[in-house]
Amino acid sequence: MKVLDIPARHIRDALKDYENASRCFGKSQKPRSPATVNRQKASIGSMFKYAHVQGYVTKNPAHSVAYRPENNNIVRWLDDDERTRLLAACEASE
C-alpha cells in the first residue's frame, strides 16, 4: 500500500495490534500500556507529518486517531530520610 493511501482506520488497527502483541519472543505477556501505545502513535504521526511537509501526502491520517487515556497516578512513599526531614519541618513550623 502506498503511504498516501493509508487511512486512519489502518493506523487504529495497527495500534490495537501493537497494544496486544506479545513482546518477548512469543511469550504471553500483558498488553502494552496506554502510554507506550501513545508513543507509538506519536511516532507514526511524526512520520506522516514529515511526509506531508515533503509533499508526499495531502493530510496526516494519524490526526484523526485518538490517543489512549493514560493513568498518571504514581504511588510514592517517603524514604526514611525524607520522612525525618518532613516531620522535623512540621515540628519547626507554626
Question: Tens of pLDDT along 26-76?
Answer: 566 788 889 999 999 999 999 999 999 999 999 999 999 999 999 878 888
**Cell numbers that stand for 78 in this block:** 517517603
**Cell numbers that stand for 5 in this block:** 493511501
Report the pLDDT value the prediction gives residue 36, as an integer from 0 to 100. Answer: 92
Q: Is 68 exposed, middle or buried (0-12, 13-18, 19+ CB in 10 A)?
A: middle
Distance in angstroms (rounded) separating the CA atoms of residues 78 and 71: 21
CA 7 vs CA 35, 57, 79: distances in Å: 23, 11, 50
**Cell numbers that stand for 20 in this block:** 496486544
